[in-house]
A = this chain, B = another copy of it.
């Protein structure tokens, strides 16, 4: 059981934006693609979705790029997972169709477990998981791109 790559990439994009020295630093999708070794076309979809969820915004123009559209402390990890996972049903009772699903006691147990998973992640904001901002920057700085340079 694992989060989809799609959610994973969304979280990496948000973390990358949150670890910038200045919150208004515009970041190119290409840079994030290179930093994390994620194909750019996958990131474009993720970035588009993050925009629709009002978590980031795109600044157009020559020196454009993406930035967070709210404070990292206002972006909850559990909410990102809820928005990006294709399904949060812990099992698929329809395929193959399970004939006991109406009275199944496993199903509510699994849903309770999934809720515990998500509730745990609701305790973390993007600010919490990037509070070691400087370390994160240094870690990625060694890979040499402009967006992460210290001012």
Chain A contact residues, CB within 8 Å of chain B: 1-5, 7-8, 11-12, 15, 35-38, 77, 81, 85, 87-92, 96-100, 102-106, 109-110, 112-114, 116-121, 123-124, 128-132, 135-136, 139-140, 143
Copies in the complex: 2
| A77-B107 Cα distance, complex, nearest whole Å | 12
Are B15 and A106 in contact, CB atoms less than 8 angstroms apart? Answer: yes
Are B100 and A136 in contact, CB atoms less than 8 angstroms apart? Answer: yes
Partner of A3, one of B85, B90, B102: B90
Are A139 and B103 in contact, CB atoms less than 8 angstroms apart? Answer: yes
Partner of A99, one of B88, B92, B139: B139
